[in-house]
Structure 1
Amino acid sequence: MKEILVLYYSHRGSVRALAEQVALGIHLVPGAAARVRTVPKVSTVCEAVEDEIPASGPPYVEVRDLEECIGLAIGSPTRFGNMAAPMKYFLDGLAGPWVNGTLVGKPASVFTSTASQHGGQETTLLSMMLPLLHHGMLVMGLPYTEAALNRTRTGGTPYGASHVAGADGNPGLSADEIGLAIAQGRRLAETALTLAAGRA
């Protein structure tokens, strides 16, 4: 089985819920599996504020996860139209993989959640794409052949799967949000397998 890394940071559960659906889409593709990882919280005072091993949920990401996986999906909640600090902090520390070309030629996609309908989903998704482009990754979105993109009244963008959580941070995904996240995972896995086979 070839693995695709699903890496996320989630504050109140919405991005984690999206990550689970992206991972499901990956698992639906024969020969592909999702490796789900997260990043720890950070503080502006002392940076690392979490134990080395999370109390629950998936393990924290390590550089070897990037090396061993054939594709990458990253997710973060929106912070004023940008990715959250914990995800940015992790990405900022990837000078070694950048120099070594660890991610060059691998496909990637992004996903996010906001409290409001117009809370910066698309700018956050674009902000997460920028470091991936610097790493030489092949960034993928969601095509409009996915019918839910035209009918959704909640989350879902051509830049990546998304969720509108509301002011209370509700992690419950709509049917369209679920469908688009699954479609994103499936599309990423299919592309990653095709590219990996071409390199073999």
Structure 2
Amino acid sequence: MSTPYILVLYYSRNGSTTQMARHIARGIEQAGMEARLRTVPAISAECEAVAPDIPAEGAVYASLDDLKHCSGLALGSPTRFGNMAAPLKYFLDGTSNLWLTGALVGKPAGVFTSTASLHGGQETTLLSMMMPLLHHGMLITGLPYSESALLNTTGGGTPYGPSHHAGADGKRKLDDHEAALCRALGKRLAETAIKLDHNRG
């Protein structure tokens, strides 16, 4: 039997979402579970596949098996006009078989995003990422206001999930509150998955 893990699946072009994914993974591991980081390839306008099977750097590309066998999911994307980025949506659109078989039903999931402007669609992006997860029967895990960083943040952070204000040039690093909320989501996902696995056993 394979080791239970939380899948941290994200798309990133400027590095902000990658930073968030790493903090979420740290929270997962602090709670005693394995974190598996995966990304998705960019979508090409070419009619033939032009991307390599393995990216030159960063996390490897996700497979449907990564998603099928996870104990929980953290899903992340930069915002694109208040919605998730097309490469992540494209990957999710290919998960019909997992939906038909109920492979993700009852597993915890959370979402995270990064935007160029402070009010650039963080909450709508997070909500848009929840929709396919709800269709899969996943249990959405947000962030409660018992997380003090949620009350004190002057950057990103919402009860729907961690967010980050990357700035117009995309170079603003995560501040302490944003990073803490990412770790908090990872911890909540891992703790929830452990409790659910225990109850099933």
Q: Give the shorter-chain TM-score range.
A: over 0.9
Q: Which runs of 5+ in 1 are unaligned?
A: none
TM-score (norm 1): 0.96
The aligned residue for residue 176 of structure 2 is: 175
In 2, Cα distance between equivalents of 1:50 and 1:115: 26
Match runs of 1:11-30 below 5 Å: 11-30=13-32
Question: Stretches of 4+ moved more than 6 A in 1?
Answer: none
Secondary structure class of the residue paired with 2:150: helix
The aligned residue for residue 11 of structure 2 is: 9
The aligned residue for residue 35 of structure 1 is: 36
Aligned-residue offset at 1:48: 4.8
Aligned-residue offset at 1:171: 5.1
Aligned-residue offset at 1:43: 2.4
Query: Which structure dedicates a bigger proportion of its chain to strand?
Result: 1
- Spell out, residue by residue over 1:75-117, the C-alpha distance to the aligned partner (whole angstroms, 9 max, x if none): 0000000000000000011001000111000000000000000
TM-score (norm 2): 0.96
Aligned-residue offset at 1:52: 1.0
Aligned-residue offset at 1:49: 4.0
Q: Does 1:110 align with 2:111?
A: yes
In 1, Cα distance between equivalents of 2:72 and 2:52: 27
In 2, Cα distance between equivalents of 1:141 and 1:24: 17
Match runs of 1:88-107 below 5 Å: 88-107=89-108
% same residue: 61
Aligned-residue offset at 1:51: 1.0
The aligned residue for residue 75 of structure 2 is: 74
Q: Does 1:197 align with 2:174?
A: no
Contact 1:41 / 1:49 at 8 angstroms: preserved in 2? no
In 2, Cα distance between equivalents of 1:193 and 1:92: 28
Q: Kindly tell me: are residues 70 and 81 of structure 1, through their superposed partners in 2, closer, same or farther at Cα, counting changes over 3 Å?
A: same
The alignment covers a number of residue pairs equal to 199
Secondary structure class of the residue paired with 1:7: strand
In 2, Cα distance between equivalents of 1:41 and 1:58: 13
| 1:81 partner letter | G
| 2:27 partner letter | G
In 2, Cα distance between equivalents of 1:19 and 1:144: 21
Secondary structure class of the residue paired with 1:88: helix
Aligned-residue offset at 1:55: 0.8
In 2, Cα distance between equivalents of 1:170 and 1:184: 23
Q: Compute the RMSD of aligned alpha carbons.
A: 1.2
| 1:21 partner letter | H
Match runs of 1:18-167 below 5 Å: 18-30=20-32, 32-46=33-47, 48-167=49-168
In 1, Cα distance between equivalents of 2:192 and 2:85: 27
Q: Kindly tell me: are residues 45 and 68 of structure 1, through their superposed partners in 2, closer, same or farther at Cα, counting changes over 3 Å?
A: same
